[in-house]
Structure 1
Amino acid sequence: MKAVLMTVAGNPQVLQLQEVPKPTPGNTEILVRLVAAGINPIDTKLRKRGTFYPEQMPAILGCDGAGIVEAVGGEVTKFGPGDEVYFCYGGLGAHQGNYAEYTTVDEKFVASKPKSISFAEAAAAPLVLITAWEALYERGKLEPGEKVLVHAGAGGVGHVAIQLVKLKGADVATTISTQEKANFVTKLGADKVIFYKQTDFIQATLDWTDEEGVDLAFDTIGGETFDQTFSAVRIYGDIVTILEPDVNTVWKVARTKNLRICLELMLTPMLLGNTEGLQHHGEILQQCATWIDEGKLKIQVSHTFPLEEAANAHQLLEDGGIIGKIVLLISDNQKTA
């Protein structure tokens, strides 16, 4: 089969299309003919610095996949050949990723693809859906009627986070940089749009909340934005970040306000081999598939590239400014089911 291999760490050009053996499913695994694969920031980070398992090079990157079941292991009961699925699994350097024509994945970690969207949209969804779900619903314990600040609302994680906040019955403010992005997040349901380059997002958030601060802030940017956001959160409020806090983070405001600080890394079950967590990811995706098919949740794909142009896709993501997600198209089966 064809796959994009990373043989060494480096710039996007280290990603090269090659022929590799087609995988065989284990007893509880399904063999998926991949139709599309999502591109995520974790992919570019691993390409630049090396994977979590450097002794297992070369590697096939790509955590997000969507495709059609071609074969199943002897103990598989949930799926059969011809079923359309989507999932977040592999691509960290141990198990094969999804920049390939085929992959295998345990059936427990997989969900049925939403029927109403394309394979490209489905492949764009898993990592960002799981990340936003865990950050808001599990780490941040979001409740109806609360007020939430989501940073970078037009990005991959941000644009689904806005929608998950609204599905919970809460209000959401979000930071963006352009009018195009403002129009986009407003259509998604954002209650307050903050142009962070022209406006102090802290003061804008305080103005929106009658000087109290939000109940929950979701940081998708990190760095100075993380500790600056402490001032935009109410006393005894919550802040969840998907980035590792900088060693120079100033914690004084967070401590004075008695904030609850939560870290969100949806890759944890994969990194630590936690089967229960991976199965939970499949359950999250199944619920999100229902919402997508009900028209309550949308996935934005900004650009698509053929598999052999994975390097160009990485470069575009690193250039920044993307609205939504970038996807690799692996086969021509892109119709909505």
Structure 2
Amino acid sequence: MKAMLLPAFGDSFIAGEIPTPTPGAGQVRIKVEASSVNPIDTKIRIGAVPAVSPALPGVLHGDVAGTIDAIGDGVTGFAIGDRVYGIAGGFKGTHGALAEYMVVNPAMIAHMPTSLDFAEAAAMPLVACTAWIALFNKAGLQAGDRLLVQGGTGGVGHIAVQLAALAGADVTATVSSDQKAEWALRMGANHAIRYDKWDDVKAEAQARGDLGFDLVFDTPGGIGLDRSIEACARNGTVVGIAGRNEHNLGLVHSMELTLKFAFLIGYFVDPSKRQQDIGDMLAKMAAFVDAGKLTPVIGESYPMSEVNEAHARLERGGFMGKIVLTQDLA
């Protein structure tokens, strides 16, 4: 089969041919129709996360949408011809989605929302599961909580805003432009704050005695995490998904905050985690989508053969929603 291969860390992807995989017992094969680009994919490409990276030369990307075309022994709940989506590989010991076919563990996929096409479905899995884990499993979000979502129109952020609004939280999203502020409000945020006006907003909040947010979900990391800690109320909770920088944790101590991180890739490398949780979350997201309560947003789309350009676009930033890749290798 045809695939986009990464020869070595730091290289560009190249087109190549590799054997078409056959599903073993407890596996299914997906005829890949679409994938999407996540920051973890760019980190794997440059060799920044060797602990979770596949052997090279190899096939990357975990987000996938397509049709099941072969099923191994012992698989239940799926049939040939089913349209499915998932975050199912691209990491150590797994197949990747930048190919014509991908063999996966069915625990990490679900039936696609019937109202979405393949590209829209492929935009969802990693970001939707990450948002769910952060908001509900880690932060314990409840109706009425005051929540700040840093990066509220990004890949994870735009899903988090919608899920939190659906749960009845009072949601504030940080954004980089007036256009994105309007978009965040349309997705369900109660308030939107531009990053470049952060200090003014913070001063106004302090002047009126605002004690901060109950929960803060930090998606960008870096200085965003420092601001998230500053924005949290005493005894509040900050959940991050990017923690590779150095930070002064003095406020975490003095304000008695709880600081947690969500790392979805742990489901691929930590045997104590139940992989079926991913499939269950995806089934829940599909129901939300088909009920009109959750909408994935595609910022830009590229053919799969242009994955190098798609990675470069993600690294430049400035877009809303997700960057997707549609199948053109077959």
TM-score interval for Structure 1 and Structure 2 normalised by the shorter chain:
over 0.9
Give distance in 1, aligned partners of 2:51 and 2:2. 23
Q: Residues 245 and 54 (structure 1 numbering): CA distance in 2 closer, same or farther, change over 3 Å?
A: closer
Distance 2:240 2:224 in 1: 10
Give the letter for the 2:97 counterpart: N
Shift of 1:28: 0.8
List per-residue Cα deviations over 1:78-129 (Å, max 9, x = no partner): 1010001001011124312111110111222211100001110100100000
Q: CA deviation at 1:302?
A: 1.1
- CA deviation digits over 1:221-267, x for unaligned, max 9? 112221232221111110001012533x1111111111111111011
- The corresponding residue for 1:18 is 16
Q: Structure 1 323/301 Cα, relative in aligned 2: closer, same or farther at 3 Å?
A: same
- The verdict on how the C-alpha distance between 1:134 and 1:209 changes in structure 2, with shifts beyond 3 A counting, is farther
CA 266–203 in structure 1, closer or farther in 2 if over 3 Å, else same = same
User: Within 2, Cα distance between the matches of 1:289 and 1:207?
Assistant: 41
- Secondary structure at 1:120 match in 2: helix
Q: Secondary structure at the match of 1:199?
A: helix
Instruction: Give CA-to-partner distance per residue, 1:134-175, whole Å, 9 cap, x none.
Output: 000010000110110000111000000000111111111011
Alpha-carbon separation, structure 2, partners of 1:286 and 1:157 = 18
1:32 partnered with 2:34: no
- Structure 2 SS opposite 1:277: coil
**Aligned-pair CA distance for 1:72:** 0.4
Q: Give, as a single letter, the amino acid of the residue that structure 1 aligns with 2:300.
A: H
Structure 2 gaps of 5+ residues are: none
**2:128 aligns to what?**
129
Specify whether residues 308 and 55 from structure 1 end up closer, same or farther in structure 2 by C-alpha distance, changes over 3 A only: closer
Q: Can you give the 5+ residue segments of structure 1 that lack an aligned partner in the other structure?
A: none
- Structure-2 residue corresponding to 1:192: 191
Matched, 1:64 2:53: no
- CA-CA distance at 1:52 after TM superposition: 3.4
Matches within 5 A, 1:140-289: 140-200=139-199, 203=202, 206=205, 210-244=209-243, 246-247=245-246, 249-274=247-272, 276-289=273-286
Q: Secondary structure at the match of 1:52?
A: helix
Deviation at 1:273, TM superposition (A): 3.9
Instruction: Give the secondary-structure state (helix, strand or coil) at the position aligned to 1:197.
Output: helix
Q: Tell me which amino acid in the other structure corresponds to 1:78.
A: G
**Taking structure 1 as reference, are residues 132 and 326 closer, same or farther at Cα in structure 2, changes over 3 Å only?**
same
TM-score, L = length of structure 1: 0.93
Q: In the alignment, which of 305, 310, 313 is matched to residue 308 of structure 1?
A: 305
Q: Take 1:331 and 1:296, find their aligned partners in 2: how far apart are those partners?
A: 31
Mapped partners of 1:22, 1:134: distance in 2: 33
* Letter matched to residue 29 of structure 1: Q
State yes or no: 1:48 paired with 2:46: yes
Alpha-carbon RMSD across the aligned residues, in angstroms, is 2.0
Letter in 2 for 1:3: A
| Distance verdict in 2 for CA 1:46–1:199, change over 3 Å | same
Does the 8 Å CA contact 1:202/1:229 hold for their aligned counterparts? no
TM-score for the superposition, normalised by structure 2: 0.95
Q: Any conservation in 2 of the 1:237–1:259 contact (CA below 8 Å)?
A: yes
Q: Percent identity?
A: 36
Question: 2: distance between equivalents of 1:210 and 1:315?
Answer: 43
> In structure 2, what is the Cα distance between the partners aligned to 1:100 and 1:332?
7
Q: Tell me, in whole angstroms, the C-alpha distance in 2 between the residues paired with 1:58 and 1:332.
A: 18
Poorly superposed stretches of 4+, deviation over 3 Å = 50-55, 204-210
One-letter code of the match for 1:102?
A: Y
The secondary structure found in structure 2 opposite 1:299 is coil
Q: How does 1:85-100 map to 2 (within 5 A)?
A: 85-100=84-99
Query: Hey, what's the Cα distance between the residues in 2 that align with 1:221 and 1:49?
Result: 20
Aligned position for 2:288: 291
